[in-house]
Amino acid sequence: MRADPDLRHLQHTPTGAAYVSQITAQESDRQARAAFRELALRIAPPGARLFDFGAGPGIDARFFAERGFTIDAYDVDPRMAEFFTSHCRNLIQGGRVNLTGGSYRQFLAREAPYAGDCAHLVVANFAPLNLVDDLRELFVKFNALTTARGQVLASVLNPCYLPEMRTRWWWRGAARLWRDGELFLPGPQAPHYRRLLRHLRATSAPHFRLARVFPGLPSSSDGRSGWLQVAKARYMFLLFDKTPCS
């Protein structure tokens, strides 16, 4: 992740209870989170092992663990990890949730789990992939963390979100976005990337392929929404399947 390991990009970002309050304040964000969870429940086999990447304060980890899943989780921010540990304490003590921290480079370098501890599904809610510089090495890690038929379900910021396409800052970066497939935005809080689907397809290969795109809205759960509805959603939900060669 950008600015790791000194976490300078997180110094001005709310964390813990303040972060939970921020991400649950708007109805649109609550609906997007609920839609992501509903989709994950439809995709993951009952009782499966999930890996929660960019787990933040642990509210998704707790949600899934309370519905019978075993959760392995990672977040780079030690302040988030502190809140996570408190929020999921009983589930951690009961062996349903396991949280690891450390720098992002340490996360990438950790040994792969034994086959029985591999995840059926990696979940990455509320756009943690937008904070990652090099998605290729992250998908290599996801390959090591997942079973032979593992999948990745990721919420990402929509690079072609219609309300933002009406702003000057979007058009100032449009040429770079179309040329490079991604656009880095410094931002007042957390620097992040906006990425086109072609870039996400390329960087997930060869271990994964982009199988489905869902708008980050409650109506996305049927999978039949058109591209206009995708453009109206601030988030996109991307489902990656493992490729046979991996």
Please report the pLDDT score of residue 13 as a whole number: 62
Sign of CA dihedral 153, 154, 159, 162: positive
Sign of CA dihedral 127, 172, 165, 239: negative
Using alpha carbons, list the distances in angstroms from residue 234 to 34, 82, 107, 157: 14, 29, 28, 6
Average pLDDT over the chain reads 89
How far is residue 94's CA from residue 8's CA, in Å, rounded to a whole number? 34
CA atoms lying within 13 Å on the CB side of residue 42: 12
Q: How does strand 146-157 pair with strand 119-124? A: parallel
pTM, entire model: 0.90
Quick one: average pLDDT of 197-218? 95
Using alpha carbons, list the distances in angstroms from residue 199 to 134, 138, 157: 11, 14, 14
pLDDT band at 222 (very low <50, low <70, confident <90, very high): very low
Lowest-pLDDT range of 123-127, 175-179, 184-188:
184-188
CATH of segment(s) 8-242: 3.40.50.150
Lowest-pLDDT range of 33-37, 50-54, 229-233:
229-233
